[in-house]
Structure 1
Amino acid sequence: MDIAGGARIAVDRTGFASVDSIEDQLRELRRERDALRRENRILKIAVAELERVSERDTLTPLFNRRYFLTAIHQRLARFERHAESAAVVFIDVNQLKYINDSFGHAAGDFALLQIATRLDESIRATDVAARIGGDEFGLILDQSTEEGARVQVNRLRHVLSAEPAIYDGHVIQLSACFGVAMLEAGATESEILAAADRDMYRSKQSQDADSPVRHR
């Protein structure tokens, strides 16, 4: 073997690889490693985006029902461990069928988007807003008493109805019925949401009794 001037060692008759061959293999391995790292970063971004999409409503910027139930479950666990209270609010939009029938489904979607935006802009960053059905929304008001939640509900009711939505020249009045349920030890997320739904229904019956206009 020739070592003059730092020359590379050639493959000898015993079959051992030269230094050049080993370095080529190392360079190839490094390229493969870097490519795998790039692919891994891309996969992480894709997974994060899929997780984000799986938690979001398809029409509004709010979370979806699946995420909302998971969030209630998490609050129930905190409530049982640390007695951290929270209120769950069930919201049913009034007259969406009338809006769809009168102005078209695009107008109905616009009304839902307006309601979602107003709700989202009116709660704290720690609270949760979600669209949980076609014309139904849900809120989680963290560290809230029932009295505090009902004060917030009255404020939100005004926020929704204070200004109409304008769609293609049509004036659309926005309003909704609200129900409140507090976290309870031993209850499931579905039971808490159902309790808020029942409270909303009682509120809707009371409003219907006072008004000649049926909401749905």
Structure 2
Amino acid sequence: MPIVDSVSSNAPAAPRAGRPRSEATRHAILDAATDLALAGGRVPTIDAVASQAGVSRTTIYKWWPSSAAVLAEGLLDRFHESIEFDDALPVREALTLQVDALVTLLRDTAAGALVRQLLAAAASDRAVGVAMLDRWLEPRRATAAHHLERGVQQGLVRPDADLALVVDVLFAPVYHRLVWGHAPLEPGLARQVCDLVWPTICVTSPAAPAAAS
């Protein structure tokens, strides 16, 4: 039995245009999908989400193409604090804390197993891949890119640095360890990664002139 609902022939390929989503209904659906997934350890079916949320399948399919898409957004909504860090924090510290929050979330909560399932399913199901990219990965990447751009504006990060690639490098070790399990998601991983990355992107101060003898 597949671990996720693929987009069925009866479901639209993409959310249809229409009336704006009711926030109360949206949160009910996201909470239902997330609660069911965290309790059951797998991606719930659309029928289960609809029953739990007290809505119809049609309502869900108006806004999401699959239960995986609902869950990806639901997990982000439930654990949004793992990507929100104040701009008052130093750039390097904000990046370290963001990576560390992801490590902690994937290691210490049931979300880790669910994200691993969704990533595995994304390899063969394009709809799941799009859902994960749009509703889980991109919001996190955008936040990291924002802090890197702050670094550029503050003269801390090289303006010629490929920020998209830097974001990839920051998060890749976390997902690599999550999927393959070859090494633990240890508490110090985020700082180790940032300590490796930061020297390659930071603006180095010019050497002070030698004192006259």
TM range, smaller chain: under 0.3
TM-score, with normalisation over the residues of structure 2? 0.25
TM-score, with normalisation over the residues of structure 1? 0.24
More helix by share: 2
Q: Larger Cα Rg: Structure 1 or Structure 2?
A: 1
More strand by share: 1
